[in-house]
A and B are shown apart, each in its own frame.
Chain A
Amino acid sequence: MTSHSGDIQLDTSGATGPVHAVQRLLTKYPIHKNYNVRVFVQAILTIWAIMSFTFVLVRFMPGNPVDILIEQILTQEGISYQEAYDRVAASFNIDPNASMLDQYLDWFTDLLRLDLGTSITSPGTRVVDEIARFLPWTLFAVGSGLLISFVLGIVLGMMMAYYRDSVLDHTLSLISSFFTGVPNYIWGLLIIIGPGISWRWFDVGAARGTYDPGLTPGLNAAFIASVCEHALLPIITYVLATLGGWMLSMKSSTTSVLNDDYVNVAEARGLKDRRIITSYVGRNAALPLFTQLSISVGFVLGSGVVIEEIFVYWGFGHYLFASIVVRDYTAIQGAVLVLTTAIVLSNLFADLTYGLLDPRVRISGEK
């Protein structure tokens, strides 16, 4: 944690100026010592640092979007270079000739107004709109994938803990090693090669995109069915790739809970097994996993790039990859901003809610 000016308890009542005013305020209301506030400020600083880093980084990538676009216009229409340049410069939110610092300041002030600028390669398209168009598909696929694997993992993990050292436990732990070891895109390729191409359970080509063309998006059965059909393969992939981790975490968590006194007490009280499993063991063992679930959302979002490319699922990862290929600076920044924010917020959420979810932590924290 960086040291704050307010840590120094000086008598600053006589001094003037904004710094001293802040110091006085902090001495009076020590919000910088509040855990939640500190975590929150750190999260915002993290997002800012990573965004600035990305800002500089994308501008060092070889291949300049201005030249790419000028080239495009020149080949499409027979106008002079200067005209093309003027048009490109006008269509940009940023002046291509401005220094990086000026661009940065422009971008930053826009960002404060939640304006991510317009796309460079397809002028006139706002990055915010594009992200809003692509992100829901990925959220749907990743979200349902994670949720399914989380629930499955909790059930299987508890089974492993209950039947420790049995054939079931060994088999499941071997399976979980397979699930954890094999990368998610390899699962994706296996799904395409095996059931998709060799056994022809489904048509890989028809599962491309996010829904069948010709359907009107809305709450009608055909559209929802089509959406689920197209998201099915990515969802299965996310489930397979993350299931092993949940199984193992749940197993070790349940194993430690099973040794706790209150479980013995519950058994001694003659409570039904079913009740002990669900409300005594399961609930307490699953609590730490909710934190992990929250954290993993951010990471899985980022790793969706390859999956969406493999299944040609037009979600957020596809958008990010396409932007990188054409060097659309503003789009890359927007996408990275969304990802970073997702990761930071999910960590923050985990930090702040852990105490709320698990009373044991709250009590030991208050001591």
Chain B
Amino acid sequence: MKAQTAQNLLYAILTIPLGVVGGTFKFLSRLRANRAGFIGFLGLLAYFVLTFIMPGFIPFDSEVNLDEIAGPVGSRIQLAVHADNAELQTFEDLAGLTVGVVDQTGGPSLIAPYADSINIEKYRWTSRRAGPGIRAALVDLTNKEIDAMLIFSKNVEEIRADADDPELQALFAEHIVISNPELGPPHLLGTDTQGRDIATHIVHGGRILILTAFIGGVIATLIALVFGSLSALVGGALDSALTALTNLVLAIPRFPLLVVLAGLIRFDNMLFLGVLIGLLGWPPLMRAIRAQVLSLRERDFVEAARSLGLSTNHIMFREILPNMASYVMINFIFSITFAMYEQIGLLVLGLAPIDDYTWGVMLYFGRSRGTLYNEDGASMALSPVLAIAFFQVCLVLFARALEEVFDPRLRAAV
């Protein structure tokens, strides 16, 4: 008897890894038939590498740096000078001179490190608001009131090409040259308003979001699973109570409540936000699982188990749950996308913690600092937007592929 048990155990230990590996291969080969789903799966793997492994190799760029400010790829900060001073090309050359800086991006903190060696003259992006704009800076440059000027490339070109005032344009064309079209080192996705590399922020900004969404998804799915199966299997007063609770929570305006809660609770930790999202997000899934258990309960094999006198415990965990596993799994993935949606929504509004520099916080700063509305600075908002969008799409593609792989009815229909 004992030897038999040991044998069983050994057998289990040996076969479980084999089963997992074999199952994975079988699953992948089935998934490969669904091209979109397979792409989604690969995309998720890529996201895993990007956000969980790459941060170990790529340090977070937190150094505020004026000479690294750049727009998106190919559009970088330029040094415009008077034609007579064409030899001025780097920051070292500018020592002791008066330099015009467009006060759009960084503000005083950026210019401060250079204030000792360079005389700085501030200009605004446009002259619509108070203060001299770029055009005024160019006029000053032609009059040699300033020796050089730091500016985003495209805007110099645009203003030089703008034929509003031909006389002025001719003057610009004659007296202003761009001595260095690419100040500072190149960056893959450009730099943000403080000259920090956006690509490193993308690499570091996803992990916490994904973990938070994962926690939210796990909690929502667990609550839904427990309540849904209890409700369907036990029935009676418990069923009524749980269904009423579900209807109640379902009617709560989730997002506004989260906004109120975000004001109420000082979220020191994003992961806590995940718990909260999970606690609010279970009702739709609970209804679905309840319906699923109710329908599975009527199937022959469950009837058979019940007539054999097997316990509810056994019926739930051995008969019903294995048959629902894929369904639960798919809904779990969808609840991750909901959690992601909600937490980033809060972040965009600036209501969740911004201590962790995540994609959502990048969006918040992109909006609040106005780079969203500036073509040259679009990378700061566009990069996290695309990172979030593709992550969500990968999840949805993967979940839909799972639906097709697991649900024979769908497979037959397709």
Contacts and interface: CB of A to CB of B under 8 A. Distances in A.
Interface in B316-332: none
B131 to A, nearest CB: 19
Interface residues of A, number: 58
A50 B349 contact: no
If over half of B's interface residues share one DSSP class (helix, strand or loop), that class is named, otherwise mixed; here it is: helix
A161 B222 CA distance: 34
B259 A321 contact: yes
Interface stretch (B269-277, B301-309, B382-390): B382-390
A344 interface: yes
A61 B263 contact: yes
Contacts of B414: 164-165
Interface stretch (B24-32, B114-122, B372-380): B372-380
B388 to A, nearest CB: 6
Contacts of B381: 189, 193
Contact of A320 (B256, B344, B348): B256
B92 to A, nearest CB: 35
A352 interface: no
Interface string A4-47: 00000000000000000000000000000000000000100011
Given A340-B253, A343-B251, A197 B263 contact: no
Interface string A43-74: 00011011001100110111100000000000
A163 interface: no
Contact of A197 (B260, B367, B374): B374
A324 interface: yes
Given A1-B244, A50-B248, A306 B253 contact: no
Contacts of A181: 337, 389, 392-397
Contact of B341 (A2, A183, A192, A255): A183
B90 interface: no
B255 A303 contact: yes
Contacts of B264: 57-58, 60-62
A340 B263 CA distance: 19
Interface string B125-139: 000000000000000
Contacts of B344: 183, 185-186
A222 interface: no
Contacts of B106: none
Nearest to B344: A183
Contacts of A154: none
B400 interface: yes
Contacts of B348: 185, 306, 309-310
A182 B260 contact: no
Contact of A2 (B240, B247, B260, B388): B240
Interface stretch (A85-93, A117-125, A172-180, A271-279): A172-180
Contacts of B375: 197-198
Interface in A205-229: 205
Contacts of B244: 1-2, 42
B349 A321 contact: yes
A190 B260 contact: no
B251 A344 contact: yes
Contacts of A340: 251-253
A303 B252 CA distance: 12
Contacts of B299: none
What is the size category of the interface that chain B forms with chain A? 35 or more
A178 B36 CA distance: 11
Given A57-B261, A62-B263, A321-B349, A339 B256 contact: yes
A330 interface: no
B385 A306 contact: no
B412 to A, nearest CB: 11
Q: What DSSP secondary structure best describes chain A's contact surface?
A: helix
A5 B29 CA distance: 59
B6 interface: no
Contacts, number: 145
A335 interface: yes
Contacts of A57: 257, 260-261, 264
A339 B253 contact: yes
A204 interface: yes
Interface in A312-367: 320-321, 324, 327, 332, 335-336, 339-340, 343-344, 347
A189 B372 contact: yes
Contacts of B237: 3
A188 to B, nearest CB: 9
Contacts of B10: none
B266 interface: yes
A343 B254 CA distance: 11
A179 B378 CA distance: 22
Interface string B210-247: 00000000000000000000000000010010011001
B363 interface: yes
A164 B413 contact: yes
A183 B345 contact: yes
A301 B254 CA distance: 11
A60 B396 CA distance: 37
B105 to A, nearest CB: 16
A189 B385 contact: yes
B251 A50 contact: yes
Contacts of A310: 348, 367
Contact of B392 (A46, A182, A320): A182
A70 B36 CA distance: 59
B256 A335 contact: yes
A62 B266 contact: yes
A183 B259 contact: no
A204 B381 CA distance: 15
Nearest to A307: B345
B263 A324 contact: yes
Contacts of A193: 372, 378, 381-382, 385
B349 A309 contact: yes
A44 to B, nearest CB: 11
5 contacts: A54-B260, A180-B396, A181-B337, A182-B389, A189-B385
Given A182-B388, A305-B349, 8 more contacts: A1-B243, A49-B248, A173-B36, A180-B396, A183-B345, A185-B345, A197-B375, A255-B413
Interface of A: 1-3, 42, 46-47, 49-50, 53-54, 57-58, 60-63, 164-165, 170, 173-174, 177-178, 180-183, 185-186, 189-190, 192-193, 197-198, 204-205, 255, 298, 301-303, 305-306, 309-310, 320-321, 324, 327, 332, 335-336, 339-340, 343-344, 347
6 closest cross-chain pairs (CB), A and B: A181-B396, A181-B393, A339-B253, A181-B392, A302-B253, A182-B389
